[in-house]
Structure 1
C-alpha cells in the first residue's frame, strides 16, 4: 500500500514538473502548438551562409600585413544564459571581426531556447556563426538548426585562411551520418591553411568508433590543417596532433570565452574568464605555403 501511494505521488510530481516546464517556456513567448515543435519565431534563414558571404565581402581583400584577423569563440552556453549575455557584453567592447559559437547553444533543442539564444547573440555588434552541438540536435533541434543556420558543414576562405564549420555529433546523426570524407577532401584539396571548428573533441570515445578515430587521425595529420577548436568538455585545454593545434574552449560559465588572432605565421589565443585572459602564441608557419 505504501509503495502504491509513493508511486502515485511520484507520477503527480512528474506531471507537475512537466506542466511547470511548459508554463515557463510559453509564458513570455508567442502562443505555439507545442514547445516541442519546430516552429521558430524568427525570420532568419541560412544565417551561416549569409554571414559567410558578408565576411567574404568585408575581409577577403585584406592581407596579413594590413591587420590580423580577430575571432571570438563561445561554447556550451546551455544552462548558462546569464553568463552568455555578459560574455556578449564584453565581446562588444573589443575589436573582433567575427564570433563562432562552438555548439550546445541550447539544452533540449527547443524552439523557445533557440529564440532566446538568437536574441542574445543578436546583440553582438559584429557577425557571428555557429556549429551544431549534441544538445542542439535533441528532438527537433537539428531541423530547427538547419532552418535557421543552413547546412551543418560549411567551408569558406577569408584573409588567406580556409575556415571549416563541421558537424561531428555522431550519436545524434546516426541516420544521416557524419561527413568525414567531405572534411578530409576539403582539407586535402585546400590551397590555404585550414582552421577547423566543431563541437566535440576529436578523440571522444563516446562519439566515435575505431574506424572513425582512424580517419580522424588521418585528417589531423593533413599538413594544411593548422588548428582545431571545439567545446563539449566544458573546460580549457590544449594539445597537438601532428602539426595541428587542438584547443578546447570552456563553457560560458564564469563568463568564459576565447579570443583568437591570426597572423601570417602565428596564432595567438587568449583564454578568458571575464576580463582576465591567459595568452598563448602558437607557431603555425610549418608546411604553410603562402
Structure 2
C-alpha cells in the first residue's frame, strides 16, 4: 500500500511538472506571439539562448557577446517611423528644390535666347521700315515729277515761270530732261526771265541728269528687292555683327551661370566668344571670363 501511494505521488508530481512546463511553454509562446506578431516560435532562436547561457559561465563570458533583444515602446516605434518619413520627405523636398533651380536656370537661358531673337526681329523690322520709307519717298518723288511734266506740257511756259522758280534745281533738271527739247527750251527761257542764275544751274545739271535718273531708278529697284528679301528673312538673323552685339547686351543683364549655359547652347566658338566679350560691359565681361576659367574651360578650347 505504501508503495502504491508513493508511485501515485511520483506520477502526480511528474504530471504536475509536465503541466507546469506546458503552461510555461504556452505562456512564452503567447508573449512571443504578442511581441513579434506570430513571426517567431519559442525555439527558433535557440542559438541566442545558448549564447545567453554561455555568457554566464566565468571562462566563456569573455569570449561570447550576448546582446538581448529589446522591445520598442509604441512611442519609440512611431517616433522611429516618423523620423524615417521625415528623412524621406526631406530628401524629396531637396530633390524637388534642386530640380526647381535647374528648371529656373533653363528658363533664364531660354529668356536670354528669346531676348536675343526679339532684339534681332526689332532690328529687322527697323531696317524694313527704313527701306519701305525710302521706297515710298522715291515713289512719291517719281510721281511728283510725272505730274509736273504733265502740267508743263499743258501750260504756257510764261504762265509757269514764277512757279518753276519755287521748284528745286535737281527736280527741274529731271523734268526738263524728260520733256521734249523744244518745250524744255521754252521753259528754261521763261525761267531765265525770272531767275537767270537758277536757269543756268538747271541747264548745267541737265548734262548729268541721266546719271541722276539712272541712280533713282537703281535705288527704287534696290529698295524693292531689299524689302522682298527682308520679308522672306524677317525671322532670321541677318547680320553677324548685329547678332553678336545683341548677344553681348543680353549677357550684360544675366548672371555668369546663365551666360555660360546660353553660350553652350548656342555652341559659341572661342573666337566668337572673344568678340562677344569685347562688346560687353568691362566689369561684366571680367566676371564672366573668371567664371568660365573656373567652371567652363571647354568654351575657350578650340573645337576640332
Q: TM-score, normalised by structure 2?
A: 0.19
User: What TM-score do the two structures reach when normalised by structure 1?
Assistant: 0.19
Q: Which has the higher helix share?
A: 2
Bigger strand share:
1
Per chain length, whose mean CA-contact separation is higher, i.e. which structure has more relative contact order (CA < 8 Å, sep 6+)?
1
Which structure's CA Rg is the greater one? 2
